Amino acid sequence: MTRDYSQLFPGTTPSPTPASRLTQLGWQGFFATQVEADALARTPPVRVTEVHRSGLVALGEDIEVEIPPRDDLTVGDWLLYDADSPKDSVRLDRKSLIQRVAAGRLKYEQLIAANVDTVFITTSANADFNIARLERYVALCLNAEVEPVILITKPDLAEDPDTFVERASEISARVPVLALNATAEDVRNKLADWAKPGRTVAFLGSSGVGKSTLTNALAGTELETRGIREDDAKGRHTTRHRQLYLTANGPAVLDTPGMRELQLTDVAAGLSELFEDIEDLATRCKFRDCAHETEPGCAVQAAIAEGALDPARLERFRKLAAEETHNRETIAEKRAREKGFAKHVKRITKDKPNRR
Ligand SMILES: Nc1nc2c(ncn2[C@@H]2O[C@H](COP(=O)(O)OP(=O)(O)OP(=O)(O)O)[C@@H](O)[C@H]2O)c(=O)[nH]1
Ligand SMILES: [Zn+2]
């Protein structure tokens, strides 16, 4: 089976509507430029749409394949599928990667999703609205190299929806904020700047804020239903959804349980980006190790005194930074332990090649 993938390279005319299966899957120039055309024909690109303990499901232009379990892969990854040896399919470089710290005594990083373009951080214009949580999500997105957009749902039920938009807009000038009724007709139009064919989006937010309603609105009646299947392996009858939905003329929509409970891990870069105003101020403190508390010559406290910095924002920055440091240290300890163990294993399995 040889296919011509040349039309998938950037700079060529886009395929006629409806979008090709690969475009629906979120195939982009970023990935195409990583591979020679003949390699694409030999080992066609497939995208991981589901991860199970028993293996991965991946879809391509006209193939659906299963790949043995690999802990270096996650939903959204692009692979060059090797039909002769599926486990050796090569992963293409990621455009973005969302991770979390798994809960439990031993914290470890868990890959949540790869190659998401836009995360719609979703909250409602009601008691769910919480600036600190929004900041946490924004930092997480920036760190993952994902573009964050804040959506404020249920404006139709709020007395003064504009105040929520104003408050969310203060988080960062580079994060767009939109109020939208998730149950209204114009959802696709309002999200059209980000939710287009060839792109991958996800919704992040608390239960009940409208994530499913928005997902359905984007998918419309064109929701890819072949992904829904029955699983009665445990004698129970539950409907499970594919974790990556394809839409005929819209984006790929990622909907995984893992997206729901995200904590901070290794997001130092995202935090610096989000709180760059405070970091800028801190460079002007008299002492390099200033804790911005009662030190003389503290530029951060001076800004608070002048009313230029909200003390609550400094507090939130401290809390997020402390959480990030704690998570990073716990992971570093665990890695050090694992490394010791890995060395030990390597010594006894010396002749076996190590895939990672
Ligand atoms: N009036 C109004 N109702 C909304 C809006 N957004 C969501 N709802 C309603 O709120 C309820 C919860 O919406 P869901 O889409 O199920 O919320 P969710 O975020 O997917 O919730 P989980 O699946 O628990 O994570 C539904 O009854 C929606 O119709 C909105 O903007 N306006
Ligand atoms: Zn200071």
Q: What is the ipTM of this complex?
A: 0.96
Q: Looking at residue 51, which CATH number applies to its domain?
A: 2.30.30
Distance 317 CA to ligand 2 centre (A): 13
Distance 176 CA to ligand 2 centre (A): 30
Q: Is residue 356 part of a domain?
A: no
Q: How many domains does the chain have?
A: 3
Q: Looking at residue 333, which CATH number applies to its domain?
A: 1.10.40.50
Distance CA 99, CA 263 (A): 9
Amino acid at residue number 210: G
Q: Is residue 233 part of a domain?
A: no
Question: Is the same domain home to 155 and 244?
Answer: yes
Q: What local confidence, expressed as pLDDT, does residue 137 receive?
A: 87
Q: What local confidence, expressed as pLDDT, does residue 191 receive?
A: 96
Distance CA 80, CA 46 (A): 6
Question: Is the same domain home to 147 and 165?
Answer: yes
Residue 247's domain spans which residues?
97-228+238-259
Q: What local confidence, expressed as pLDDT, does residue 227 receive?
A: 37
Question: Is the same domain home to 123 and 218?
Answer: yes
Please spell the DSSP secondary structure of 131-182, one letter per residue. HHHHHHHHHHHHHHT-EEEEEEE-GGG-S-HHHHHHHHHTS-TTS-EEE--T
- Counting ligands in written order, the one closest to the CA of 303 is 2
The atom number, within ligand 1, closest to the CA of 157 reads: 1
The atom number, within ligand 1, closest to the CA of 122 reads: 19
Q: Is residue 355 part of a domain?
A: no
Domain-ending residue, one of 55, 71, 91 = 91
**Which of 213, 216, 239, 254 to probe ligand 1 with, by most ligand atoms within 8 A of CB?**
213
- Counting ligands in written order, the one closest to the CA of 304 is 2
* Tokens coding 155: 């404006």
The atom number, within ligand 1, closest to the CA of 153 reads: 31
Q: What local confidence, expressed as pLDDT, does residue 337 receive?
A: 72
Ligand 1 binding site (Cβ under 6 Å of any ligand atom): 153-154, 156-157, 181-183, 207-213
Q: Burial of 158 by CB count in 10 Å (0-12 exposed, 13-18 middle, 19+ buried)?
A: middle
Q: Is residue 67 part of a domain?
A: yes
Distance 275 CA to ligand 2 centre (A): 14
Our CA angle for 23, 179, 76, nearest 5°, is 25
For residue 96, say whether it is annotated as part of any ligand binding site. Answer: no
Alpha-carbon dihedral 244, 248, 178, 200, rounded to 10 degrees: 40
Question: Is the same domain home to 155 and 183?
Answer: yes
Give the chain's residues under pLDDT 70.
1-18, 101-109, 220-242, 258-266, 269, 338-356
CB atoms within 10 A of CB 102: 14
Whether the model clears a pTM of 0.80, i.e. scores above it, the answer is no
